[in-house]
Structure 1
Amino acid sequence: MQGHGYAQPVKQPPHIAWLVFLRVLFVVIGIFSIGFLTWAMMLRLAIVTRKSLDWGVFVAVLAANILSLVLLATEPGDEIHTAGGNLGITLLLGTLVAAIAYYLAADIRHFHRLHDAFTAHRSMAPAYGYPAAPSPYTATTVPSVPHTPPPMPHTPLSQPPIPAPPQRPAPARIDQVRAELDELSDYLRKQDGHHDGHHEGGR
C-alpha cells in the first residue's frame, strides 16, 4: 500500500523588480532595433512559460521579421517607395506592436499565476500534513522526551464522622456534688429542728 507521497515543491517566483527590469529591457531592445529584434522578447517568453503556443508565436514573429527584412532589402533606393518596401515596413512595425502587447500580457499573467500558486502552497502545506523543515538556526540536539501527564492526587473517599464517646464526669466533680448535697441535707435538718423547737415552745 502506497501513501500519498510528498507534494511537488513550488518554485518561488523572482522578485517583481527583476521582472519589471527584464520586461522593460526586452521591449526597449525591440523598439531601438526598429522591430528587427522583436523575436528576442518572444524567445524569452517561450523559454519562461514553456508553452507550445508561445513557441508558435515566437516562430511566427521570427518569420515575420525575416520576411520584413527581405522585402526591405529588395527596395532599390534608400527611401521606401515601392509596394514591397511599404509592405515590409508595415509588417515590421505591426509585428513589433503586437509582439510587445502579447509579450507583456503573457509574461505578467504567467508570473502572477506562479505567485498565487506559491502563496497557496505555503498556506496549504501544513494542512496536508507536511510540516515545514526545521530551521538550522533553531535546531537543537536535545532529545525529545514524551510528555506524560502528572499523576492525579489520591482523594480518599469521604467517611461519616465517628461519634465521640460520651465523657464521664471526673471523680472530683462527683465528690464536690456529694459534699454540696450533704451540706444541703444538714442545713435542711437544722432548719427542721429549729422549726420544731420553736413550735413546741410556743405551746
Structure 2
Amino acid sequence: MQGHGYGQPVKQPPHTAWLVLLRVLFVAIGLFSIGFLAWAMMLRLAAVTRRSLDWGLFIAVLAADILSIALLSMEPGDEIRTTSGNFAMFLLLGTLVATIAYYLAADIRHFMQREQAYAAQRTAQAAYAYRGPASPHTPPPMPHTPVPRTPPATPPPQRPAPTHIEQVRAELDELSDYLRKHDGRHDSHESGR
C-alpha cells in the first residue's frame, strides 16, 4: 500500500486586513503619483504570483510609464500643448486605470486560491490524522470547507474515485470480516475435539 507521498505544503495566506492594507497602499501610490509609479503595483503582483504573464505586464507598464515621461519631458513649458504631450497623458492615465483594475483582480484571485488550497490541505490533514474507531457506518468528522463562489469550469465527474483514506478503510473492513470468519471456524474446530 504505497501512496503518492506528501504534497507540496501550502503556506497560510496573510491575514485579510494586511492584504487590504497593501492593496490600498499600492493603489494610492499609483494614484498620488498620477500614474508615474503604476509599475509598483505590477512589480508587487509579479513578485507575489511569480507568473510570467505578470512579469511581462510589469515590463509593459514600466515601458509605458517611461515613454510617457519621455514624451512629457519634450513639452515646451509647463502646459501640455502638443499632440505627443496629449498622447503621453492619455497613455499615462490609461495605463494607471488598467493597472489598478488588473492588479486588484489578480491579487484578490491569487490570495483566494491560496486560501482555498490551504483550507483543502488542512481538511486533508485532519482526515488523515483521524484515528477513531474504524466503523463503516460512521465517517470521520470533516471541518467545513468554504464553497467557491464561481461554478467550476468543467462539470464534476459522475462517480468520483475513492480517496486514499476511503480505500484504506475499505481494505481494513475486508480484513476485519476475513478475521472474524477465520476466528469463527477456528473456535468450532477446537470445540469439536
Q: What TM-score bracket applies, with the shorter chain setting the length?
A: 0.5 to 0.7
Partners in 1 of 2:79 and 2:9 — Cα distance? 57
Q: What SS does the aligned partner of 1:10 have? A: coil
How many Å apart are 1:5 and its aligned residue? 2.3
Q: What SS does the aligned partner of 2:17 have? A: helix
Partners in 2 of 1:60 and 1:131 — Cα distance? 50
Letter in 1 for 2:105: A
Q: What SS does the aligned partner of 1:5 have? A: coil
How many Å apart are 1:8 and its aligned residue? 2.1
How many Å apart are 1:131 and its aligned residue? 6.4
- Is 1:63 the counterpart of 2:63? The answer is yes
* RMSD of aligned residue pairs (Cα, Å): 1.7
Partners in 2 of 1:11 and 1:98 — Cα distance? 30
Question: Share of identical aligned residues, percent?
Answer: 71
- Superimposed CA distance per residue, residues 139-182 of structure 1 (whole angstroms, 9 cap, x where no aligned partner): xxxxxxxxxxxxxxxxxxxxxxxxxxxxxxxxxxxxxxxxxxxx
Partners in 1 of 2:57 and 2:130 — Cα distance? 42
Partners in 2 of 1:62 and 1:4 — Cα distance? 43
Return the TM-score normalized by structure 2: 0.64
Give 2:85's aligned residue.
Answer: 85
Give 2:122's aligned residue.
Answer: 122
Give 2:46's aligned residue.
Answer: 46
Give 1:149's aligned residue.
Answer: none
Larger-Rg structure: 1
How many Å apart are 1:7 and its aligned residue? 2.6
Consecutive unaligned residues of structure 1, counting only runs of 5 or more, are 133-203
Q: What SS does the aligned partner of 1:125 have? A: helix
- Superimposed CA distance per residue, residues 49-71 of structure 1 (whole angstroms, 9 cap, x where no aligned partner): 00000001000000000000001
Give 1:4's aligned residue.
Answer: 4
How many Å apart are 1:119 and its aligned residue? 0.5
Letter in 2 for 1:70: A
How many Å apart are 1:126 and its aligned residue? 3.5
Letter in 2 for 1:55: W
Letter in 2 for 1:38: A
Letter in 1 for 2:122: R
- Is 1:29 the counterpart of 2:41? The answer is no
With over 3 angstroms needed to count, the CA separation of the structure-2 counterparts of 1:131 and 1:62, relative to structure 1, is: farther
Partners in 2 of 1:131 and 1:42 — Cα distance? 43
Partners in 2 of 1:59 and 1:113 — Cα distance? 25
Return the TM-score normalized by structure 1: 0.61
Letter in 2 for 1:7: G
Give 2:73's aligned residue.
Answer: 73
Letter in 1 for 2:76: P
How many Å apart are 1:4 and its aligned residue? 2.9
Partners in 2 of 1:131 and 1:72 — Cα distance? 65
Letter in 2 for 1:13: P
How many Å apart are 1:89 and its aligned residue? 0.6
Partners in 1 of 2:130 and 2:82 — Cα distance? 69
Give 2:170's aligned residue.
Answer: none
Q: What SS does the aligned partner of 2:5 have? A: coil
With over 3 angstroms needed to count, the CA separation of the structure-2 counterparts of 1:26 and 1:72, relative to structure 1, is: same
Letter in 2 for 1:42: M
Give 1:111's aligned residue.
Answer: 111
Letter in 2 for 1:30: G
